[in-house]
Amino acid sequence: MVLRRSALLYCVSAVFILIAVAAVFTTLVARFAWPHAVVAALATLGMLGIALARDARRRPTSLKIGPDGLATSNRAGQSIAQGRIVGCAQWSGWLLSIALVGDNGRSRTLLVTADMLCSDHFRELAVQARRAAHGAL
């Protein structure tokens, strides 16, 4: 399955960044001069913006559901996460959180929003993830 970029994740991330920048500014403007607060707020904006861009490059662009679990890969075709499904949580019809455990025992959580897949594929993934998670218990 090919995953689209999620507008929901980008919007939530942008709102988080704006709230963090506003919090830094309002906290520091009360204690220091406003130019110092502006510099700190801009530094916070820069660091969180870089983190968002870095995270966007590492997000999966494709999913492959197999009999043994789930595999994800990025745009370059490199494997991001692979393993069996050990947990699944679904929040309404918007977000699916899938916990994977690889062969090496490391766990990874995969977030899939409804706007990343067509509605039929999202439902199919949710059902398969719930089945696999209940089978792992």
pLDDT digits (tens, 9 = 90+) for 44-78: 999 999 999 988 888 888 888 877 788 888 887 78
Q: Residue 119: its pLDDT value, please? A: 85
Largest CA distance in the chain: 60
Q: Residue 108: its pLDDT value, please? A: 87
pLDDT digits (tens, 9 = 90+) for 108-137: 888 888 889 888 888 888 888 888 877 755
Q: In angstroms, rounded to a whole number, what is the distance separating the alpha carbons of residues 136 and 134?
A: 5
Q: Residue 39: its pLDDT value, please? A: 96
Burial of 62 (0-12, 13-18, 19+ CB in 10 A): middle
Q: Residue 125: its pLDDT value, please? A: 86
Residue 91, CA atoms < 13 Å, CB-side half-sphere: 7
The domain ranges of the chain are 7-58, 81-136
